[in-house]
Structure 1
Amino acid sequence: METLVHYGQKVNQLYEAYNRRDLNTILDTLSRDCVWEVMGQPEIPFAGIYHGKEDIKDFFAKLEDTLDMSEFTTEHILENGNLVIASGHFNAVARKTNKRFSTVWTMIYEFNENEQIVHFRDCFDTLTCARALREK
């Protein structure tokens, strides 16, 4: 992985917190009015646009209810000013169907002058995820 500078280190710490299932560390990094965007088709329960910490907390509950992440790996973290772009891959099992799938992902973070995340966007293979979630 690249040498991480200030915001890149913060993002890396968020991924470490996620792998520990330490939601409070993640929520503490968000601004009060953070916008959290997760791409996805209507079949993906956790997809959508979330506003503020309580709403984003609901996102994580939906994600946990929907998927069992067996592997979540960060490959690159790139920083430019207050913007961080990270990429990697994950393997998961859809809890309701027990179907496994893998996808690459790219996540974009924007920080404010108080070093809080004000905007987040998650992009991944939503079609593969939706297929794993389908009962048929």
Structure 2
Amino acid sequence: MNEQQNTQVAQEGYALFSKGDIANLLKLYTEDIEFIVPGSAALIPYAGVYRGKEEVGRFFAKLHEAMDFERFEVQECIAQGDTVVALGYGKGHVRATGQPMEEEWAHVLRLRDGKVAHFQVYTDTAAVGQAFQRSSHMAM
């Protein structure tokens, strides 16, 4: 596939994610997809390395349980060969703590035969992890 087609696959995936259509999103991934979300799973419950569609489906379930996004948007996609880099922004709150979370992110997608075979997240894991910490300040 060419760069424009690869970019369209990436954009379709983000559109499906935004609608909460994870079943159809998973169809855009190869059977052996490797999905990497940085950070400590002790702090960020959905952090980790997920392999295969079933594990990636569990990632999306963990993400939904952990986060409530009010905004999640792709600002730019840059493609070269079979690689697409998506730059974006997310804002929401952590369900367990109520803490706000705001992040700029980069995702690197590597495609094979028109499907995403590798997905790597880059973000400020310290800021994301902090949102999962309960506030040490008590209201008086």
Name the amino acid aligned to 2:85. Answer: I
CA-to-aligned-CA distance 1:29-59 (integer Å, 9 cap, x gap): 1111110000112310100000000000000
Task: Structure 2: give runs of 5+ residues left out of the alignment.
Answer: 136-140
Q: How does 1:23-102 map to 2 (within 5 A)?
A: 23-41=22-40, 42-102=42-102
Q: 1 CA distance for matches of 2:115 and 2:31?
A: 9
Give how far 1:28 is off: 0.2
Q: 2 CA distance for matches of 1:103 and 1:66?
A: 15
Q: 1 CA distance for matches of 2:80 and 2:110?
A: 10
1:18 maps to what in 2?
17
Aligned length: 132
2:104 maps to what in 1?
104
8 Å contact kept, 2:105–2:123 = yes
Runs of 4+ in 1 over 3 A off after TM superposition: none
The alignment-based identity, stated in percent, is 26
Greater Cα offset, 124-133 or 102-111: 124-133
TM-score, normalised via structure 1 length: 0.93
TM-score, normalised via structure 2 length: 0.91
Task: Structure 1: give runs of 5+ residues left out of the alignment.
Answer: none
User: What's the RMSD between the two structures over aligned residues?
Assistant: 1.1
Give how far 1:127 is off: 1.0
